[in-house]
Every structure is written in C-alpha cells, then in structure tokens.
Amino acid sequence: MDGLISKLRNLDAYPKVNEDFYSRTLSGGVITLVSSVVMILLFISELRLYLYAVTETKLVVDTSRGEHLRINFDVTFPALPCSILSLDAMDISGEQHLDVKHDIIKRRLDSHGNVIEARADAIGAPKIEKPLQRHGGRLEHNETYCGSCYGAETTDDHCCNSCEEVREAYRKKGWAISNPDEIDQCKREGFLQRIKDEDGEGCNIYGFLEVNKVAGNFHFAPGKSFQQANVHVHDLLAFQKDNFNISHRINKLAFGDYFPGVVNPLDGVQWTQLTSTAMYQYFIKVVPTVYTDIRGHTIQSNQFSATEHYKGAEVGLLQALPGVFFFYDLSPIKVTFTEEHIPFLHFLTNVCAIVGGAFTVSGILDSFIYHGQRAIKKKMELGKFN
C-alpha cells in the first residue's frame, strides 16, 4: 500500500515549494492584483454570455409554397385629403385589389396634423337618405327608391343610390367621370364642394394587406382606379384639380410580424414634393425570415431592403401618375434565427482558459520584470550601468 501511495506521489504535477524559499516582490504583488481583476472581469463577461441566449443565423433555400404575405403600413400624407386617396394592390399572378377599403383606417388631418375624423372605410360624402328615383321625381305605387347608374348598370335592377356607387359602377366598366356635377347623386351630395372644403387637409392611412407571396406592388394614389385597354388608370378628372401634392411620411412599413432585432429601413422616411406632379417609387427586396426564441416559439416574418426613386414631371412632358408606389420582389433565400444557450461544458472550458491564460501571462510578465530588475541591480553593483 505504501508503494502505491509513493507512486501516486511521484505523479504529482504540482510539486510544493517550501515557503522558506519564496521571494516576494512589490512588482509581483502589483501584477497579481492586476491579473486577478482581469480574470474577474473576463469571468463576469463569460458568465453573462452563458446566462443570456445567443442567436445563431443560417441561410437556407425557401421551399415554402402557397403562403400569403402580410404587409403592415402606416403612411401620412400631410397635403392629400382622405376623400381622394385610394389604395390598390396587384401582383404578377394577375390578382388585383382595387380601391382597397377592408382592414384599413383613414384619419383626416388638419393643416397642423391634428386628427379631424377617423373611419374604417373610405372617407367621403355620406350616402343620401332618399336617393333619386329612376322614374323622375314621382314615386310609383309600391316602388322603392333606385338611383340611375348613368349607363353603367350591369343588370336592369341595378341601382346606384350614392355618388360613391356611381363611381364604383363606372370603375367596373373602365370608365371615368369627367364632371361629377352631371351626376345627380354627386351633385346632391356636394361631391365637388366637399373636395373644395377638404382642400389643405391631410390623411393618415394605416392597416394591413394580405397578398399572394409573389412579386407585386401596391400604391397610394388619388382617384378611383380602373383598367382601360389593360392599362391601370386613375380618374383624376373628377376632382378638377391641376396638381396633387403627394408629399408623405412612412411611419411604418413591415412585411410580416415583428421579431427581436428586425430593422425596417423605410420607417421614418419622408419626402416633400418639389414639382407640380410627382411619382415616388420604392423598390423592395423581401427576404423570408424565421425567428425561433429560446422557448421554441417560432415567428414567420420577413426582412427587406429598399431603394428609392423620385420621378417628377416637367411642363410640356407626359405627366406620370401621381402617387407613392411600392414594388416588392421575394428572395429565394430564407434566413433563420435561432436562440440557444451556450453548453455548460463550453462555458467551463472558457473559464478554465481565462484563469489559466491570465495566470500564465502574468507569470511570464512577473518573471521578465524580476529577472530584469536583478540584472540591472547586478550591473549597478559592478559599476557597469550607465
């Protein structure tokens, strides 16, 4: 048994030195103190890294199909009334959403930016209580009120009981109303008068769009849109205005839900119109993103990059359609973010490396200083130190 213990004693890699042979120095004490502080700071840094989750990033090919893309927006037009502002969306598959009114809110703003009115649908003239009759001003027996659509009727019993319904019927036919005063409903509702009364007002429009997950665009522009010879057109003549101020501020634009660390580059972007007519274009590259937190909860969202283009029209040249256009395309690469903790063994390894490394470096530094001092002292004793 004594022999086994003796053999184990011989394997000791840390032989002990009698304290009588120790030589303690001031420089060694300073170095010990500094190295201890450094080790403590590095240990705290490593401990914080271990306690908090780290995010691992991967790039994979996006193989998802048949999904929808949610576009959240909040845009303010300080000089464009809500009654003439419309929102359209379309994509390369041919699907169109013209004059979108669902899932959006419009807020009328005064010249100082204060909210006048907020409604979930298009803001304009209210529907008249007693719409015009098809048979003159006299009501026939058992006849209900039915306003004329002025040639845009789709069926014999199609009624247009408000100016908005006449405009909608015209839009579906691909027609534009050049003079609203010729439409009795618009005249009775004071369509043009309301446009004049709202002159100088602004509009804040916010909400979301659900679109196909393919390339497409959506835009904010004055007037109702319709298709004419496969061309997207807006009926600007009805407003009897020479120009439209499309100055705007993008308060928020996001493709999908929020996740930690997301940066939307167009948030806070503001443009002030410099010409009588202008088209603002934003070209967006959408990158599908999946974020998984430490609890395993997954968020399907998107990031995007954007470039901007301003297009003004000079006098004598063909004017572009005034509006704010967002053209988006999707990347075939998906980014995945995964939160995870550092393994304990990895943390332990780093702590050992910190302690051992700091101890070794401080030992080398102490030895260099100690032997340097001895060499200088010896030369001074011999009188060879100048």
Half-sphere exposure of 7 (CA within 13 A, CB side): 4
192 pLDDT tier (thresholds 50, 70, 90): confident
- Domain residue spans in the chain? 26-53+342-382, 60-123+203-339
Q: Give yes or no for a contact between 253 and 72, defined as CB atoms under 8 angstroms apart.
A: yes
Question: What pLDDT is recorded for position 141?
Answer: 45
Question: What pLDDT is recorded for position 209?
Answer: 93
pLDDT tens, position by position, 303-339: 999 999 888 755 444 456 788 999 999 999 999 999 8
Q: Which amino acid is at 158?
A: H
pLDDT tens, position by position, 102-144: 889 999 998 888 888 776 654 444 444 444 444 444 444 445 6
182 pLDDT tier (thresholds 50, 70, 90): confident
Pull the structure tokens for residue 163: 């100016």
- Tokens 């998802």 correspond to 64
Mean per-residue pLDDT of the chain: 81
The better pLDDT of the pair 363, 92 is held by 92
Q: Could you give the CA distance from residue 199 to residue 380 in angstroms, rounded to a whole number? A: 95
Pull the structure tokens for residue 359: 């101890």
Query: Average pLDDT for residues 32-59, to the nearest whole number?
Result: 86
Strand partners, 338: 56, 292
Alpha-carbon torsion (261, 263, 264, 267), positive or negative:
positive
**Burial classification of residue 280, based on how many CB atoms lie within 10 Å of its CB (0-12 exposed, 13-18 middle, 19 or more buried):** buried
Question: What pLDDT is recorded for position 184?
Answer: 84
Measure CA of the first residue to CA of the last residue in the chain; give whole Å.
62
Question: What pLDDT is recorded for position 310?
Answer: 86
Q: Could you give the CA distance from residue 178 to residue 233 in angstroms, rounded to a whole number? A: 13
Pull the structure tokens for residue 61: 């090919």
The better pLDDT of the pair 21, 212 is held by 212
